[in-house]
């Protein structure tokens, strides 16, 4: 059922993807993908390189137009109600997109202005977002003076300025050391727990997924499993998620944080 023109539907999942396919020429990148992420849930989209994770993100965020299936954000279809759906969505893309020569605050203010948020409203929101990200003391620093982990935290803070209730992160820990990766993961899980945000975390690193998380295994454009880690492991008959993933996808994956094979 569609939501009224300007409001997301109450009680609908944060994200509902149904029978979504996408091809580049004759090559199918996504093939009948369906899953949903409830509000307040940390959901990991686990897949090897080329599984289709970025293509899926591009469709959800409308960089690409979905020609088949449907994508709903709190009930709002991204094709039929794009402004309602996009207003609920914050995104951290795989490629960094901050202006390196602007300060942290300038980057966040620019994003707020793009979303039509008045400066008087944006200022306290930015201060709050930076405090939550542990970056208040970096507010006036140029982005290029920050560490990789701090830059990622600024990107997450930026993605939250317009108060979205669905957060999408495409391999956000690429290039970060173990401590920074864990900080970002902890921060993301806190946002789900305390703010009720539904979160989709794309990764090829199995050790970023914890017991209790929802995991969606994407392989060659298809969803091979979707459920809690415990359910997916049990259904596969394996001992742990790493083995379950290998059974489903073959001996080439998954990767560990150090880039090695299991």
DSSP E strands, 196-242 = 198-203, 214-219, 222-228
CB of 33 or CB of 184, closer to ligand ATP: 33
CB of 59 or CB of 86, closer to ligand ATP: 59
Query: Which residues contribute to the site for ligand ATP (CB under 6 A)?
Result: 24, 29, 47, 49-55, 204
Give least dist CB 229 to ligand ATP, A: 20
Give least dist CB 29 to ligand ATP, A: 3
**Alpha-carbon dihedral 117, 85, 163, 160, rounded to 10 degrees:** -100
Give least dist CB 155 to ligand ATP, A: 17
- Structural Rg of the chain based on CA atoms: 18
Tell me the H-state helices in the chain.
Answer: 53-60, 82-87, 104-114, 119-132, 148-160, 178-195, 229-236, 241-249
Task: Supply angle C-alpha 147, 167, 23, rounded to 5.
Answer: 105
Give least dist CB 72 to ligand ATP, A: 21
Give least dist CB 214 to ligand ATP, A: 18
User: Beta strands 15-24 and 70-73: pairing type?
Assistant: antiparallel
Give least dist CB 30 to ligand ATP, A: 8
CB of 74 or CB of 93, closer to ligand ATP: 93
Q: Whole-angstrom Cα distance, residue 13 to residue 186?
A: 23
Peptide bond into 120 cis (omega under 30): no
- Determine the distance from the C-alpha atom of residue 146 to the mean position of all C-alpha atoms in its chain, rounded to a whole number: 22
CB of 50 or CB of 175, closer to ligand ATP: 50
CB of 107 or CB of 203, closer to ligand ATP: 203
CB of 56 or CB of 161, closer to ligand ATP: 56
């Amino acid at each position: 059922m569609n939501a009224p023109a300007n409001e997301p539907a109450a009680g609908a999942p944060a994200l509902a993807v149904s029978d979504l396919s996408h091809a580049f020429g004759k090559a199918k990148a996504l093939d009948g993908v369906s899953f949903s992420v409830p509000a307040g849930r940390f959901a990991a989209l686990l897949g090897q390189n080329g599984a289709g994770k970025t293509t899926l993100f591009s469709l959800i965020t409308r960089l690409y137009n979905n020609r088949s299936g449907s994508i709903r954000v709190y009930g709002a279809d991204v094709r039929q109600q794009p402004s309602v759906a996009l207003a609920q969505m914050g995104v951290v893309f795989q490629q960094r997109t901050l202006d390196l020569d602007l300060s942290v605050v300038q980057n966040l203010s620019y994003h707020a202005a793009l979303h039509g948020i008045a400066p008087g409203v944006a200022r306290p929101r930015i201060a709050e977002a930076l405090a939550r990200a542990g970056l208040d003391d970096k507010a006036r620093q140029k982005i290029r003076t920050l560490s990789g982990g701090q830059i990622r935290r600024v990107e997450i803070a930026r993605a939250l300025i317009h108060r979205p209730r669905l957060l999408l992160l495409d391999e956000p820990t690429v290039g970060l050391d173990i401590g920074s990766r864990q900080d970002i993961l902890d921060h993301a899980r806190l946002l789900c727990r305390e703010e009720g945000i539904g979160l989709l975390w794309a990764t090829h690193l199995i050790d970023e997924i914890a017991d209790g998380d929802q995991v969606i295994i994407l392989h060659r454009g298809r969803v091979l499993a979707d459920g809690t880690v415990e359910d997916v492991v049990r259904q596969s008959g394996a001992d742990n998620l790493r083995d379950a993933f290998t059974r489903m996808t073959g001996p080439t994956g998954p990767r560990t944080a150090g880039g090695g094979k299991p």
